[in-house]
Amino acid sequence: MDRIDVHQHLIPPAYQDALRSHGITAPGGRALPDWTPELAQQLMTTVGISSAILSVSTPGTAFIPDPTEATKLAQSLNDYSANLAAEHPGRFGFLATLPMPDVAASAREAERALDALDADGVVLLGNAAGNYLGAEGQGELFRVLDDRSAVALVHPADLPGDAAPDVPPFAADFLLDTTRAAYLLVRNGIRRKYPNIRFILSHGGGFVPYAAHRLAATIFSETGTSPADLLDDFSGFYFDTALSSSASALPTLLAFAQPGHVLYGSDWPFAPDPAVLYFAAGLDAYDRIDDASRREIERTNALALFPRFGTAATTQPSTALLDKVRGNIRRQAFRGIARAISSKV
């Protein structure tokens, strides 16, 4: 087995210390787990993961109110991650932590991490201290990412406001947080204005595949943008399977995402070993796809984003043509519906 895990976390010692110094012991509602490079590689061997793209999970640096201190922590985390990746070439990659919501500092750190540290991309929280990804005023960061055709993993954070009693944030709120960020990235035209950024939505995209038509209808009513274009933007995200490769979630995800846009993710160590094994088995046992399609999810699709881990396969011309024809039919149908709705408004 040679899976590429695009959603695996690291918890450097300095990050543990920073969290605990601010009284954070259970980010997202889950106790801070043990992590070392050795434990990560043990898990990877057990699950059949050859390469992991590591990222710092929520709360990132957003728990630090001082922008200067948040930037220093982000730089420290990225230096640590870069050294770890260099010590384990082919085994570990990393996504740079950015000190959001400070857009200017985040743009500078993204540039440093991508250009000088050879980061494989960046991780962006759905919201940083209540400031949502995709809101107005983030163009400086998006330009840096777009100029470099960067990969950006959209990872959820605690929702602004208090959590619901007896509902851990990671259980349901995280899915909504990802969906809110995706909604804004599409509604505010970020996906179209910065087309070179490859956004990965965590955990199967939150509620996006299930609710995309409802989301598109809402944006159409607010902006007049074609629902077909909006659905193209939503389905054009990449999606990881972390905690999402179940018999009920996979059919919707695979039916919705554009070909080649579903990637394997584990969410370890915040997803404990049994959960990682459970969802990996769910993908292995899913009998509505063949072995070639399963391999695309587990490895080949990721190589299109992270080519240094191997050689990406190309889409067969016949498949690409069929997808294009289907897309054109869908777009024409939705344009007709949009015109019909507009004529009655």
Q: What is the pLDDT along the chain (345 residues), one digit of tens a residue?
A: 799 999 999 999 999 999 999 999 999 999 999 999 999 999 999 999 999 999 999 999 999 999 999 999 999 999 999 999 999 999 999 999 999 999 999 999 999 999 999 999 999 999 999 999 999 999 999 999 999 999 999 999 999 999 999 999 999 999 999 999 999 999 999 999 999 999 999 999 999 999 999 999 999 999 999 999 999 999 999 999 999 999 999 999 999 999 999 999 999 999 999 999 999 999 999 999 999 999 999 999 999 999 999 965 444 333 444 444 444 544 454 444 444 444 443
Judge whether 124 and 155 are in contact, CB under 8 Å. Answer: yes
Helix (H, G, I), strand (E, B) or coil at 159: coil
Non-local CB neighbours of 24 within 8 Å, separated by 6+ positions: 32, 59, 63
Provide the residue type at 132 as one letter.
Y
First to last CA, the chain: 55
Task: Name the percent of the chain in helix, strand, coil, to the closest 5.
Answer: 50, 10, 35
pLDDT at 1 (0 to 100): 74
Half-sphere exposure of 250 (CA within 13 A, CB side): 22
- How many CA atoms are closer than 13 Å to the CA of 337, on its beta-carbon side? 16
pLDDT of residue 140: 98
Please identify which residue in the block is written with the tokens 């399977």: 241
Task: Tell which residue, 333, 297, 332, has the closest CA to residue 313.
Answer: 297
Strand positions, DSSP E, the chain: 3-9, 49-55, 92-97, 121-125, 127-128, 131-132, 151-155, 198-201, 238-240, 262-263
- State phi, psi for 204 to the nearest 5 degrees: 70, 15
Hey, which bits of 104-233 come out as E strands?
A: 121-125, 127-128, 131-132, 151-155, 198-201
Q: Which two tokens stand for residue 221?
A: 């009513």
Residue 169 in tokens: 């944030």
pLDDT at 328: 52
> 10 Å Cβ neighbour count for 205?
31
Q: How far apart are CA 149 and CA 196, in angstroms?
A: 5
How far is 103 from 94, CA to CA, in rounded Å?
A: 21
Q: Collapse the DSSP code of 154 into the 3-class scheme (helix H, G, I; strand E, B; otherwise coil) and give the result.
A: strand
Longest Cα–Cα distance of the chain, Å, equals 63
Q: How far apart are CA 184 and CA 178, in angstroms?
A: 10
- C-alpha 246 chain-centroid distance: 18
Predicted structure pTM score: 0.91
Residue 8 backbone dihedrals phi, psi, to 5 degrees: -130, 145
DSSP state of 204: G
- Kindly state the helix (H) or strand (E) to which residue 333 belongs, with its residue range: helix 317-344
CA dist 188 and 186 (Å) reads 6
SS3 97: strand
Q: Which residues are 92's β-sheet partners? A: 52
Is 264:2 a contact under the CB 8 Å cutoff?
no
Closest CA to 239 of 308, 133, 128, 154: 154
- The span from the CA of 100 to the CA of 73, in Å, is 12
Number of neighbours of residue 316 by Cβ within 10 angstroms? 9
